[in-house]
Chains A and B, each alone.
Chain A
Amino acid sequence: MRQNPLMMFLRIVVFAIAVFVLNFPLIATLLTSFKSDAEISANPALWIDQPTLANYAGILAIRDRFDIFHYLGNSVFAAGVGAVLATLLAFPAAYAIVRHEVGERWLLPMVTNLRAIPLIIFSIPIYLVYQQLHLLDTKIGLALILCLVNLPLVLALIVNGIRSLPIEVEEAARVDGANTFAILTRIVLPMALPAIASSLILAFIYSWNEFLFGLILTTQNAVPMTVGASFFFSASGGGVQWGIASAVMIISTLPPLLISLVAYRYIGRSLAAGAVKG
């Protein structure tokens, strides 16, 4: 399409404003993470008098007691396995729901509606079950729950993605003698990749942010980042060490950011490809 340079400039301006406004809390956090305690109590502005790495150093200095890489690793594993597993389970089911109308009336609404339950009510029953299965305080146990939590979103997004695909390609392949498995992996999967990739990213992010189950189901081996974060910044009597809290938060956004960047290259590419093909 033709691009009007003035419109493009306007888009860049809107983009810049959106990035600044939406990310305002993050920007404030980033700046705070480079301020000393003394400066935080004296200078709330969006500039730094005396930048310091002390907050980051402070986090690394206590690695023998609270190892931030341990918590990050737990979260990457649990959120990664949870998101991938949810996608693996949801993709074939979504295809059956859309193209064969199997489970459209019961499975889809039931799974989607899981999202609406306040998860707290499952905390104790799942705790009791996990206790029997020795899944408490394990990364895989946490991953299974994160998968469950994100299945509704993943299933709905992939169903939506497959529904928007043209059925003609599949029909042509079937006429050519391709079986369902081949159609699923060689035709539907590549075309549904944008939907799959975005649901993977979102599932990972949601899993990354999950707090309640991380708190209830882990004690030391599988503690995720959201729960471990407070180990670093809580002070006596309910106080908060703001500088360290900011640094912990900045560090904890890096893995989802990296994963999104990588995944987004795929989305971008397949979106471009998909638009041409469709």
Chain B
Amino acid sequence: MKRLKSVLLALAALAAASTSSLADVTVLGWPGGPEEAGLRKAAEAYNGTAAADDKVKLIFFNREGFWDKLQADLAAGSTEFDINLLATYAIGKYAPFMEPITLPASAKDVFGEKTLTTMQYDGKQYGVPTDLSMHFMYYRKDLIEKLLTDKDWQAKYAEISEKYLGKKLTPVDPDKWTWDDWAATALFFTKAVNPESPVRYGTVLQMKNLLFNMMVFGSLPRSYGANWTDASGNVTVDSPAYRTALELYKKLYDAGATPKDSLSYEFAETNAALGSGQAATALQWNAAAADLNDATKSPAIAGKIEAVAPPAGPDGRFTHIHGLGFGLNKASTHKDSALKFLDWLATADAMEIYAKAGGSPAVSDAITAKLPERPDLAKLGAFANAYGFVMNGATSANALSVYEAQAKAFTGYWAGTLTLDAALAQAQADMTKLLK
């Protein structure tokens, strides 16, 4: 009898323990890299002060297939997590399974209006924007400096630009580049075009049939005035702007200005090509900056890489932006506690901790001023405000599918299996179906 009692007591204790752990808030994040580091530090700091029932614990999904797994879980009403990662381009897709939130008024001062909108859909706030992604034009300082001073190089540069781009150009500072200046520079630093080039390729284009590559590419047509739809919602991909941009990529690819296997390149391949010291420029995600200038990771080029906003087109200078953030699972069984954490995450203190640990939030100057070790954050905020854009429809339920339809059509043109007309017609038809 006594034994039975103690067993029952132990069971009761176990049950109590498991219910109290059930009361924890579970946050689903992205493993690896600074996003995870930032989230861990933030959660640690929060748990230091939070009440027992409000403490957060973290889980992670595989990055490969993350969004598909998340979709399955959310659609099936999983209660395994209360708060989950969210991205601007997927917000429309997941919104039906998520709960809109109201952030404290102070959030506006922390992030600014434009950054908050990266977590909005249909006029409602769905998440706290913890990271901002955009593109930088990376270039080799040493090579460009020589180009800007060496008379022989400049003569060759003029010759090449006339031959390939139809106009005689003189080298200019990368921060003042138009896309033509960039193209001329890329061609100049290409061995196949200019045997004197100290590096094998002038640039690295990410041309794999992958939706994220369409985000990188998008800044180019945008600066020629492109958009997914016009104000009344008609798809406008079959436009002179997209035509010009697609042709420029194709020209550089055909001229050998980008690695041969560029049709299979994405983030990692691009970094490896730049890191090997055999490429002069690349349009690449801001997240690459740290690795490229880290001597233990890229000894060949560390200290020689500079990053500016993407070049200008007739309509100005643009960079794609999207946010990553955290929002509330509609099926969550701990909504009150979860909201407490999200509210805290939207404070200046939380973002300071998050950024210190490596995260990349776009936050107000008042906060970046406290983070002298992260000069890139000031750049991030400034670029986002000056050049950031989101295409019309890029937060809609089918945004991911639109990127995918573009990737399929555009890579077909670059690979030579589709004509430009056919590729644009295909993209136009697919996008019209997806954005109606």
A touches B (Cβ under 8 A): yes
Interface, chain A (partner B; CB < 8 A): 36-38, 41-42, 65-66, 123-124, 127-128, 131, 136-137, 211-212, 215-216, 219-220, 227-241
Task: Tell me, yes or no, whether B51 is within 8 Å of chain A by CB.
Answer: no
Find chain B residues with CB under 8 A from A42 CB: 276, 299-300
Contact B35 A219 (CB under 8 A): no
B392 → chain A closest CB, angstroms: 25
Kindly state the separation between the CA atoms of A148 and B30 in the bound complex, as whole angstroms. Answer: 31
Partner of A238, one of B65, B81, B266: B266
Contact A127 B72 (CB under 8 A): yes
Kindly state the separation between the CA atoms of A211 and B69 in the bound complex, as whole angstroms. Answer: 12
B68 → chain A closest CB, angstroms: 8
A235 → chain B closest CB, angstroms: 5
Q: 12 additional contacts, CB 8 Å, given A38-B297, A216-B68, A239-B267?
A: A37-B296, A41-B275, A136-B78, A137-B80, A212-B65, A227-B62, A231-B32, A234-B63, A236-B288, A236-B290, A237-B287, A239-B268
Task: Tell me, yes or no, whether B46 is within 8 Å of chain A by CB.
Answer: no
B113 → chain A closest CB, angstroms: 25
The 7 closest A-B pairs by CB, nearest first: A237-B287, A234-B32, A236-B33, A238-B267, A236-B287, A231-B31, A237-B285
Contact B291 A239 (CB under 8 A): yes
Kindly state the separation between the CA atoms of A219 and B268 in the bound complex, as whole angstroms. Answer: 26
Contact B76 A239 (CB under 8 A): no
Find chain A residues with CB under 8 A from B271 CB: 239
Kindly state the separation between the CA atoms of A11 and B388 in the bound complex, as whole angstroms. Answer: 64
Contact A41 B300 (CB under 8 A): yes
Kindly state the separation between the CA atoms of A136 and B30 in the bound complex, as whole angstroms. Answer: 21
Kindly state the separation between the CA atoms of A239 and B33 in the bound complex, as whole angstroms. Answer: 9
Task: Tell me, yes or no, whether B40 is within 8 Å of chain A by CB.
Answer: yes
Task: Tell me, yes or no, whether B34 is within 8 Å of chain A by CB.
Answer: yes
Task: Tell me, yes or no, whether B11 is within 8 Å of chain A by CB.
Answer: no
Chain A residue nearest in CB terms to B266: A238
- CB<8 Å pairs between A and B, sample of 25: A38-B295, A41-B297, A41-B298, A66-B31, A131-B76, A137-B80, A215-B65, A216-B68, A227-B62, A228-B62, A234-B33, A234-B63, A235-B32, A236-B34, A236-B287, A236-B291, A237-B33, A237-B133, A237-B267, A237-B286, A237-B287, A238-B63, A239-B268, A239-B288, A241-B32
Partner of B33, one of A216, A227, A228, A235: A235
Kindly state the separation between the CA atoms of A219 and B60 in the bound complex, as whole angstroms. Answer: 8
Contact B31 A234 (CB under 8 A): yes
B406 → chain A closest CB, angstroms: 18
Find chain A residues with CB under 8 A from B60 CB: 66, 231
Find chain A residues with CB under 8 A from B286 CB: 237
Contact with A along B30-68 (1 / 0, CB 8 A): 111111000010000000000000000001111111001
Find chain A residues with CB under 8 A from B276 CB: 41-42
Contact A219 B299 (CB under 8 A): no
Partner of B268, one of A38, A228, A230, A240: A240
A155 → chain B closest CB, angstroms: 29
Kindly state the separation between the CA atoms of A152 and B212 in the bound complex, as whole angstroms. Answer: 38
A243 → chain B closest CB, angstroms: 10
Find chain A residues with CB under 8 A from B35 CB: 236
Chain B residue nearest in CB terms to A219: B80
Find chain B residues with CB under 8 A from A227 CB: 62
Task: Tell me, yes or no, whether B272 is within 8 Å of chain A by CB.
Answer: yes
